[in-house]
Amino acid sequence: MVNLFLTAFVIVTSFESFAVLPIETLRALAAIGSCALILKIFDWLRLFEKTAFFVLLLEETIYDIRYFITLIFVSLIMFGIPMVILNNSRNEDNQLYDSPFGIWILDMLMNQYMLALGDFGHLEGFT
């Protein structure tokens, strides 16, 4: 239902006469709607015998790594909160990390995730 509602909403509000939301918000809603569609396709793949095994294997794998994901999430928050505190005292030209989402907790998690992957590009302004 989320997929159908979001798709219809994005299509209707993308016309200039019905423009209720900015284009950036519509893009985010379209991304959420397409993600919901892909998740629904995974649900449909459970109907077929040849793909049902792999969908079940994927579900069980995600379920089995839930404690590890919790540990990673807590460690991202543990290192991210000090970065947010250090970033708040800086001016707009010398920020420690970008703000792609505009929501501090999502920006913090994205920054720490990228740092964990080895993206150290923004740390030259750390001095």
Residue 123 has pLDDT above 70, yes or no: no
Residue 122 has pLDDT above 80, yes or no: no
Domain count, the chain: 2
Give the Cα separation of 77 and 65 in Å (integer): 19
Please indicate, yes or no, whether residues 38 and 88 belong to a single structural domain of this protein: no
The model's pLDDT over 69-112, given as tens digits with 9 standing for 90+, comes to 999 999 999 998 988 888 777 777 667 777 777 788 888 898 88
Question: pTM, whole model, 2 decimals?
Answer: 0.61
pLDDT of residue 77: 94
Please indicate, yes or no, whether residues 73 and 46 belong to a single structural domain of this protein: no
Domain membership of residue 56 (yes or no) is no
Please state, rounded to an integer, the average pLDDT across all residues of the chain. Answer: 83
HSE (side-chain half, CA atoms, 13 Å) at 95: 11
Tell me how long the chain is.
127
**65 — pLDDT class (breaks 50, 70, 90):** very high
Please indicate, yes or no, whether residues 27 and 78 belong to a single structural domain of this protein: no
pLDDT of residue 36: 85
User: What is the span of the domain harbouring residue 76?
Assistant: 66-126
pLDDT of residue 115: 86
Residue 32 has pLDDT above 90, yes or no: no
* End-to-end CA separation in angstroms for the chain: 49
Domain membership of residue 59 (yes or no) is no
Are 37 and 3 in contact by the 8 Å Cβ rule? The answer is yes
Helix (H) / strand (E) containing 62: helix 49-64
Residue 29 has pLDDT above 90, yes or no: no
Domain membership of residue 70 (yes or no) is yes
Could you tell me the CA-to-CA distances from 12 to 2, 7, 8, 68, 118 in Å, in that order?
Answer: 15, 9, 6, 41, 41
Q: At 80, list the tokens.
A: 């991210």
Give the Cα separation of 82 and 109 in Å (integer): 12
Please indicate, yes or no, whether residues 43 and 75 belong to a single structural domain of this protein: no
